[in-house]
Structure 1
Amino acid sequence: MHIAPLSPDDPSELGGYELLGRIGQGGMGQVYLGESPGGEPAAVKVIKPSVVDYETRLRFAQEVEILKTVWGARIAALLDADPEADPPWLATEYVEGLDLSRHVGGHGPLDALLTASLGATLAEALATVHKQGLLHRDLKPANVLLGPNGPKVIDFGLAVFAESSVSLTAANTVVGTPSCMPPEQANGEKPLTPAVDVYALGAVLLFAASGHPPYRADNIHLLFHQVVDPATTPDLSGAPKELAPLLTAMLAHRPQDRPALDDVVRQCRALIEAQGLKVAQARRRLTNYTAAPAHVLDDLLAVDRPAAPGSTARTRARTPDASAGAPPDGQEPGGFRPTHREPEVPAPPMPPPQVRPPTDPRLSFARVDTPAPPPADRAAGSTTADQRPAGEAAAEPDGTRPPARPAGRGSAGSSAQRRSLRHSAQARITAHRLREAYAASTPF
């Protein structure tokens, strides 16, 4: 995912976070990749000065208060915020990986097993949110980040307390994403119930498995009509037949006809176990297939350093992403040009990995529109451990193998390109790669 450099008008620091680049933007604000003084990466959301008024600050303060109350292993955590600042800002956990919309657009839909694993993970995450008295209200593929430790849910800007009658939404105004919105929300009914998130999760899983939402139309008015019309059934074309009963139930027109989230988890588990796998095995397969280890942070954090005596300084280089083709005019993937030199220093001792994690310049959380890579063949070949392509995980204990990574998601570099661990963020990235290399060669 593209990370755009800062513009001359962008701040270089906000709330103690050093801003490194732009990772998203919208009508209300801008999202930056930031770094705390201790080296913790963060997604820093800032409201545009041109739209800051009393109601905007009130909405933003409500979002901050909601983020303070929501927690969970699959929820991107709030790190810090100041809704009274000028401009108002908040910082959340930065998740390295594509969102579900970008991943499916670039690499095609997930198979039934991976979709069931995604469903069990997200249903459990939403159940945790509901236990805290909250509804997400805007779950969609772009709000599901596929990080190196599994999927995470973001953007609780529309979340409300389930029992609260207080709302900052104007009368007769519907807020949300129509393609994933249940009929009662589209009709403006109140109060909403946890069934709205069950419907939205069904729409997300349908998109993951088929590449399209439940309803499609040329204009927003026709789309709303399809959503609220009980005679118009969701389009499940392209979805695996074993998922059809669950998706049909989750996308039921009436809220009372949809299953509870605990039942969604149970049915997803049944689909996984029917293929002879445990849920944990399916989760590892999903993460192995969707996670995209990134190295763009190395470039953003790089600084000019004097060459050590007797050493030969040289311009840092990367092997370009095979799916992206040769970068034009000497430009590196992701839009960065090498403008500095660094001394080569010996890397710390490490065991030789059997599989080197691929590199991918596309990062997560970004909403900056960039062309998605073409779909790639996901079929896994039958090879020995020594013949496995880079990025393919080791076989499970039952002898099966996770799906291969799509072709062209990255290529390995030489050991001469290893850099010194001069920064805590780089140290974490290197440690993460070592763990992946170890995990790829270990049957667990």
Structure 2
Amino acid sequence: MHIAPLSPHDPAELGGFELLGRIGQGGMGQVYLGESPGGEPAAIKVIKPSVVDSETRQRFAQEVEILKTIWGARIAALLDADAEADPPWLATEYIEGPDLSRHVARHGPLPSLLTASLGATLAEALATVHKQGLLHRDLKPANVLLGPNGPKIIDFGLAVFAESSVSLTAPNTVVGTPSCMPPEQARGDRPLTPAADVYALGAVMLFAVSGHLPYQAANINVLFHQVTDPDTAPDLSDVPEDLVPLLTAMLAHRAGDRPALAEVVRRCRSLIEAQGVKVAQARRRLTTHTAAPASEREVLLPTVLAPAPPAAPAGLPDTEPYAPPVATLVLPHEAPEPTPTRVDRPAQGPGSRAATPPAAPAAPASPAPDPDTDAVPEQAATPAPARSRSGQRLHSAQARITAQRLREVYAATASF
């Protein structure tokens, strides 16, 4: 993922988080890579001042309150937020890894075994969300981050409490990603049920194994017609034979015909075991397959410039060169932060006006590295926290890496 330098108009700090660079943006907001005073990396989502109004604040505050209630090993955690600030912001854990859409675009579709593992993992995560009385409502490839410890779901900006008919959406408007939403959501039906997330998970699994979504069209009205037409079947081309029955059921037009999430997990597990692999082994293979190779990490995050070598110990002969101990720096990978797409529901009937196509999703959000990426030889003593001459805290290793990379990007593009 590309981290752009901060612009002169960007804040240097929000809510105590130091901002290090830009990692994504959309029509509604900007996402920054930040760092807490204690060195915890975070994805900082900020609403653009130009779109801040009472409805936007209310929707953003709802997202914050929902994130406070969500827990789970496969859910990007909320770190802090202030919906009343100017501008409103929230911070979530930063996940090292690409989103599913970028991984497939770069490396191609996943094998059926790994797709089944992905489906089982995400189905369990969604089941945890549903137990807390919530629906995600915008699950899509860009909202699945492939981190070093497995996939995680991000961006609950459109989440609502299950069975709730309350909506901040304007009449005749649909909010979400049309190519991944179920027919009932595309029609604007209320209330939605957990079956809506089952459909979206089926679309994500279809994309993972084939590289395409259930429906595709250049015109938004045509796309909505395909999704809502019971006679237009989803495109299951290039899907391995063993996954066709499951994806057909998950993408059923009627919500009542789709399997429950527990059934999705069971059928994914059967597909994995039919290939002579245990579920835990399949998950490890998925993580290994989607992790960035070491050589790629070195390109994405160059090493920090080495400090001046220490003086040779007293008593060492001048003729013998002195080589100080070397600390190995383990470099992380990064992931973008997505932004949900809001589109107007196409008007029905003759003479209707075409809705504005949804903007392409911004590189997400949602992102969180492991807490410590410096591997130091055991014999090395732990140094005291470094401070600048002015007494301010110096950056952690992650911040130094990012700052150095931003300086190199600027140097490479500068005209002098």
Q: Which residue of 2 aligns with 1:363?
A: 334
Given that 1:40 and 1:425 are in contact with CA atoms closer than 8 Å, whether structure 2 keeps it comes out as no
Cα deviation, residue 297, structure 1: 8.6
| Secondary structure in structure 1 of the residue aligned to 2:232 | coil
**Structure 2: gaps spanning 5 or more residues:** 313-322, 340-359, 364-376, 387-394, 402-416
Q: Which residue of 2 aligns with 1:225?
A: 225
Cα deviation, residue 11, structure 1: 1.0
Residue 140 and residue 345 in structure 1: after superposition, are their counterparts in 2 closer, same or farther (change >3 A)? farther
**Which whole-Å CA distance do the structure 2 matches of 1:295 and 1:11 have between them?**
29
| Secondary structure in structure 2 of the residue aligned to 1:174 | strand
Given that 1:298 and 1:426 are in contact with CA atoms closer than 8 Å, whether structure 2 keeps it comes out as no
Q: Which residue of 1 aligns with 2:172?
A: 172
Residue 165 and residue 53 in structure 1: after superposition, are their counterparts in 2 closer, same or farther (change >3 A)? same
User: For 1:295-374, what aligned pairs fall within 5 Å after superposition?
Assistant: 307-308=308-309, 310=311, 346-348=325-327, 363-366=334-337
| Secondary structure in structure 1 of the residue aligned to 2:326 | coil
For 2:268, give the aligned amino acid.
Answer: C
What is the number of residues matched between the two proteins? 339
Cα deviation, residue 72, structure 1: 0.5
Query: Over residues 411-436 of structure 1, what are the superposed CA-to-partner deviations in whole Å (9 max), with x where a residue is unaligned?
Result: xxxx9xxxx99865559x9xxxxxxx
Cα deviation, residue 291, structure 1: 1.6
Given that 1:29 and 1:48 are in contact with CA atoms closer than 8 Å, whether structure 2 keeps it comes out as yes
| Secondary structure in structure 2 of the residue aligned to 1:81 | strand
**Which whole-Å CA distance do the structure 2 matches of 1:27 and 1:57 have between them?**
15
Taking structure 1 as the reference length, the TM-score comes to 0.71
| Secondary structure in structure 2 of the residue aligned to 1:151 | strand
Query: Over residues 7-50 of structure 1, what are the superposed CA-to-partner deviations in whole Å (9 max), with x where a residue is unaligned?
Result: 11111111111111100000111000001111111000001111
User: For 1:149-164, what aligned pairs fall within 5 Å after superposition?
Assistant: 149-164=149-164
Q: Which residue of 2 aligns with 1:52?
A: 52
Residue 16 and residue 128 in structure 1: after superposition, are their counterparts in 2 closer, same or farther (change >3 A)? same
Give yes or no for the alignment of 1:284 onto 2:255. Answer: no
Residue 306 and residue 244 in structure 1: after superposition, are their counterparts in 2 closer, same or farther (change >3 A)? closer
**Which whole-Å CA distance do the structure 2 matches of 1:219 and 1:51 have between them?**
26
Q: Which residue of 2 aligns with 1:76?
A: 76
Cα deviation, residue 269, structure 1: 0.2
**Which whole-Å CA distance do the structure 2 matches of 1:134 and 1:43 have between them?**
23
Q: Which residue of 2 aligns with 1:126?
A: 126
Taking structure 2 as the reference length, the TM-score comes to 0.76
Q: Which residue of 2 aligns with 1:95?
A: 95
For 1:365, give the aligned amino acid.
Answer: P
Q: Root-mean-square deviation (CA), in Å?
A: 2.8
**Which whole-Å CA distance do the structure 2 matches of 1:268 and 1:306 have between them?**
51
Cα deviation, residue 82, structure 1: 0.4
**Which whole-Å CA distance do the structure 2 matches of 1:169 and 1:11 have between them?**
30
Q: Which residue of 2 aligns with 1:234?
A: 234
| Secondary structure in structure 1 of the residue aligned to 2:175 | coil
Cα deviation, residue 217, structure 1: 1.1
For 1:138, give the aligned amino acid.
Answer: D
Q: Which residue of 2 aligns with 1:251?
A: 251
| Secondary structure in structure 2 of the residue aligned to 1:19 | strand
**Which whole-Å CA distance do the structure 1 matches of 2:187 and 2:275 have between them?**
40
For 1:157, give the aligned amino acid.
Answer: G
Given that 2:246 and 2:267 are in contact with CA atoms closer than 8 Å, whether structure 1 keeps it comes out as yes
Cα deviation, residue 163, structure 1: 2.5
For 2:203, give the aligned amino acid.
Answer: A
**Structure 1: gaps spanning 5 or more residues:** 312-343, 351-355, 373-414, 430-444
Query: Over residues 206-245 of structure 1, what are the superposed CA-to-partner deviations in whole Å (9 max), with x where a residue is unaligned?
Result: 0000000001112111010000000000110011110000
User: For 1:184-203, what aligned pairs fall within 5 Å after superposition?
Assistant: 184-203=184-203
Residue 271 and residue 87 in structure 1: after superposition, are their counterparts in 2 closer, same or farther (change >3 A)? same
Larger radius of gyration: 2
| Secondary structure in structure 2 of the residue aligned to 1:272 | helix
Cα deviation, residue 167, structure 1: 1.2
For 1:364, give the aligned amino acid.
Answer: A
Cα deviation, residue 307, structure 1: 2.9
**Which whole-Å CA distance do the structure 1 matches of 2:57 and 2:278 have between them?**
46
**Which whole-Å CA distance do the structure 2 matches of 1:177 and 1:2 have between them?**
24
For 2:278, give the aligned amino acid.
Answer: K
**Which whole-Å CA distance do the structure 1 matches of 2:228 and 2:82 have between them?**
39
**Which whole-Å CA distance do the structure 1 matches of 2:247 and 2:68 have between them?**
32
Cα deviation, residue 171, structure 1: 1.4
For 2:326, give the aligned amino acid.
Answer: A
Q: Which residue of 1 aligns with 2:348?
A: none
For 2:80, give the aligned amino acid.
Answer: D
Cα deviation, residue 345, structure 1: 5.7
